[in-house]
């Protein structure tokens, strides 16, 4: 019984480790690592924009909390210049919220399989999505740049 189980495990391991040329260079998440078509290239650019934006979402949440904490503290104080700082904090909070919202909205609306059977329509769709995700990425990076300058560490 143990010998059969060992043999079956060995065969499965060999099959799993088989790196035939047929599968080399392909990712398992929907597109090849090396772009072979214009469609692959555009999809890769869209996913890179997504990945850059998503990598910053933790920092967005952190900056949102910092902005809210600073506003809460500022609301308990009195003094001159309070209004300017309060407005700056509200502005950065709004930008951070928009950046988060835009990423979430884009992800909900993005259709990975859109027009797979029609290359011309798919290329048009992916170009449009690249423009959208680039705007989302820009909103994320800019809101974090402003937050970082406001909350210098």
Question: Is 116 part of any domain?
Answer: yes
Question: Is 5 part of any domain?
Answer: no
Identify the burial level of 143 via C-beta atoms within 10 angstroms of its C-beta, where 0-12 means exposed, 13-18 middle and 19 or more buried: buried
The token duo for 106 is 């884009």
Residue carrying the six token digits 């048009």 = 124
The token duo for 43 is 């999809």
pTM: 0.73
The per-residue pLDDT for range 100-140, each reduced to its tens digit, is: 999 999 999 999 988 888 889 999 999 999 999 999 999 99
Range of the domain at 85: 30-150
Question: Is 123 part of any domain?
Answer: yes
Question: Is 3 part of any domain?
Answer: no
Question: Is 22 part of any domain?
Answer: no
| Total number of domains constituting the chain | 1
The per-residue pLDDT for range 39-70, each reduced to its tens digit, is: 889 999 999 999 999 999 999 999 999 999 99
Question: Is 138 part of any domain?
Answer: yes
Question: Is 111 part of any domain?
Answer: yes
The token duo for 126 is 């992916």
Identify the burial level of 7 via C-beta atoms within 10 angstroms of its C-beta, where 0-12 means exposed, 13-18 middle and 19 or more buried: exposed
């Amino acid at each position: 019984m143990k010998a059969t189980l060992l043999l079956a495990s060995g065969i499965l391991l060999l099959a799993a480790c088989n790196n035939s040329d047929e599968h080399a260079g392909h990712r398992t998440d929907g597109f090849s690592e090396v772009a072979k078509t214009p469609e692959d290239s555009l999809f890769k650019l869209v996913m890179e924009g997504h990945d850059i934006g998503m990598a910053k979402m933790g920092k967005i949440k952190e900056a949102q909390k910092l902005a809210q904490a600073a506003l809460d503290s500022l609301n308990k104080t009195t003094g001159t210049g309070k209004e300017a700082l309060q407005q700056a904090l509200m502005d950065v909070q709004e930008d951070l919220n928009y950046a988060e919202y835009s990423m979430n909205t884009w992800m909900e609306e993005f259709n990975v399989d859109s027009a797979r059977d029609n290359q011309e329509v798919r290329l048009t769709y992916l170009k449009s999505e690249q423009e959208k995700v680039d705007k989302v990425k820009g909103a994320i990076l800019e809101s974090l740049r402003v937050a970082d300058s406001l909350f210098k560490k």
